[in-house]
Amino acid sequence: MNPGLGKAWPSLRLALSNRWPRGQISLPRGRWLLWSALVTLLAGLLGLLIFLAHRYEVSALQSRLDAQANDLAASVHDSLMRNLRLFGALNPEQPTVWASQATDLLLQRPEMVRIEWRGEQMQLRLSQDAPGRSAPFGRLARAHSEADVKLSCSAALRFGTPTFSSSYFVLQEDGRGMELMDLCIPRKEAGVLTGYTVVSYSLGEILARGPGARLAQGQSLAFTDPDGTRLAIHGQLGEGGRQYTSRPLVDLPGNTLVLRLDTMQERPTLLPQPLTALVAALAAALSAVLTLLVRDMRRRQQVEQELADALAFRKAMENSLSTGLRARDLQGQITYVNPAFCRMVGFEAGELLLPGDAVPYWPPELAPTYKARQQDRYNNTAALRGGHESLFMRSDGTRFPVLIMEAPLINAQGKHTGWMSAVLDISEQKRAEELSRASQERLQAAARLAMVGEMASLLSHELNQPLAAIASYANGSINLLQDDQGRQAGAAPDHLHSDLLEALRRIGGQAERAGRVIRSVHDFVRRRDQRRESVPARDLVEAIMPLLALQARKLDVQLRIDLRADAPPVVCDRTMVEQVLLNLARNAMQAMQQDCEPLRELDLQVRPSSLNGRVWVEFSVSDVGHGINDEVARQLFTPFFTTKEEGMGLGLSLCRTVVEQHGGALHFQPRQPRGTTFKFTLPAGTGRLPP
């Protein structure tokens, strides 16, 4: 498990559990308010609907009653107006005929209780009461209602139409009363008023005969005063329920009657009424839907919460991973990268997800190879599992090695939609490998060096004797030759003798020099205190000149020595420094040797320099050879590194060690237009240093 993820895990769990305590979902306050408002609104709406439906039922009942009452009023009006035609047939000229005609009429129309014929001065001439019933004016004289009759007759005469009087109460002989209304019809012959026919109607009978028959059970019908006082009534009002009343007018000429129809109806209960029931059913359905909706909401919230949990977990995991994750679609286009991948390559996710062929973290020079390799791998998915190494480029242009493990990306439907890769930065791993390889090599080199050291000290020990012998033989030979020359004193100088003497002196000198070199190397290998002395720079150069000149002649190299006069003496182990100079010069000549360049020049310069407040002597050896490429430069001072067939690869590493042991530094630089310059510095000094 990733250590970063391990650390992030408890805090992630804490964060998630703080946000949504397990097993309970709390709605945010705003959402509660919304839901309460919705429920209240719906309840209000449903209440209003039920109330309106109820009111509609009540008004429908009232409308039906009004329609019935208007119908009854119209029938009363029509029947009274129709009766008018009947009175024209009455013939007052013949009283007996008139009486029988009037009797017939009274029998046919029981609502009429009396018919009178009056003269033009309203004086009563003939009268006929309804047969079979007590006379209406039997108890109370007709004179009491005379004013009403006269009033209606004068109005009838004035307007030329039959006119009804206002109603009046007449006490009957049986103690009960009767509400009567008179109708006055002026009679004219040849335009001259001959008298009036006055008909008395019983309001009670009008109700009973005409509309009374059409009343429903529990209904009552009445004529009322404008102030509501009942004048005549028919029917028995039912009990219980709500009373509905309708008051249509019966508009008669001269009088307007108020008809009042009452009925008792059960108050429409909420449910049995179809409309109310329908509304209530709708409300119930709506409530059920609302409940289901709320439940669905809660379930949805739960799913949302689980999704958010999963998402937060995934995000935390992605962020804490140190492995880079990258997804590609089937066309190779990057569709997803995690933060670790972005950190690794130094690009923003947005820059990596840009459509197009260019992949920003591919080194441009390798992009075509990578493209082809990617195609190959996608064609051969079996090869994907193992993983492969590659080289990526950061946004700053630096390259770094990575290990990529790739697998096909399969979606929830089992469809192959792309490729998923885990990318590991293996720079550290590579560096560690490189370090271990280098230290391994150093160990081997050190072991070989130690062996060389042993060999060198063995050789120096073994060679000392023969060299000493060579030197003493040379000295002996010189002595012999000089003695021989002494004996032949006076003879002409022999050239052979003198050449031999010189050669033998050189042999002796070189044998001594070889002995010194061997001693110095021995001391160097044994790390004994080297003998440091202050040596003029010129002496150092001159000491190696014979050997240098010899080699230069052999290799056809032109030597140029530039020794600055102000160069101070050098504090050093002169033999070792001479070896360093010799080594550098030999390398320089060999570098020019491999080349067909006709110009072969070696420059040896000595000049003073200063660094860190100290005076140094700088030696430089320059050639016009093939130069040093990067590959060689990296390993130049590594022991046993050589590009020559017969080389040992120890020269430069020894030179550097010698120079550094003196406190100086050895380095090289390319020379223009070609070749290389090796430079080293040695501390300047005067006089001999104490050992």
Q: Which residues bind ligand ADP (CB under 6 A)?
A: 587-588, 591, 623, 625, 628, 632, 636, 641-644, 647-653, 676
For the record, the structure tokens of 269 come out as 């209960």
Per 3-state DSSP, the chain is made up of helix, strand and coil in percentages (nearest 5) of 50, 25, 25
Q: Is 20 helix (H, G, I), strand (E, B) or coil?
A: coil
Residue with Cβ nearer ligand ADP (553 or 644): 644
Compare residues 200 and 653 and give the one whose CB is closer to ligand ADP: 653
The residue among 106, 104, 108, 128 whose CA lies nearest residue 116 is: 128
CB-nearest residue to ligand ADP: 651
Q: Shortest CA distance to 591 belongs to which of 606, 601, 577, 581? A: 601
CB 77 within 8 A of CB 251: yes
Nearer to ligand ADP (CB atom), residue 467 or residue 588: 588
Distances (CA, A) of 437 to 61, 429, 552: 110, 12, 40
DSSP-based three-state secondary structure for 270? coil
> Distance between CA 135 and CA 568 in Å, rounded?
179
For ligand ADP, the closer CB: 194 or 642: 642
Q: Which is nearer to ligand ADP, 641 or 680 (CB)?
A: 641
Least distance CB 471 / ligand ADP (angstroms): 29
532 vs 600, beta carbon nearer ligand ADP: 600
Tell me how far, at minimum, the Cβ of 646 lies from ligand ADP, in Å: 8
Report, in Å, the least distance between residue 528 CB and ligand ADP. Answer: 24
Query: Which DSSP string do the residues of 217-265 spell out, in sequence order?
Result: TTEEEEEE-TTS-EEEEES----SSEEEEE--EEEETTEEEEEEEEEEE
Shortest Å distance, C-beta 625 to ligand ADP: 5
CB closer to ligand ADP out of 117 and 668 = 668
CA 81 to mean position of chain CA atoms: 89
Give me the least distance between CB of 669 and ligand ADP, in Å please: 11
Q: Is the torsion defined by CA of 660, 664, 665, 666 positive or negative?
A: negative
- Cα 72 from Cα 408, distance rounded (Å): 93
Name which of 476 and 647 has its Cβ closer to ligand ADP: 647
SS3 label, residue 397: coil
Shortest distance, CB of residue 404 to ligand ADP, whole angstroms? 38
Is the omega angle on the peptide bond into residue 639 within 30 degrees of 0, that is, cis? no
Q: Whole-angstrom Cα distance, residue 253 to residue 159?
A: 10
Q: Give min distance, CB of 678 to ligand ADP, in A.
A: 6
Q: How far is the CB of 334 from ligand ADP (least distance, A)?
A: 46
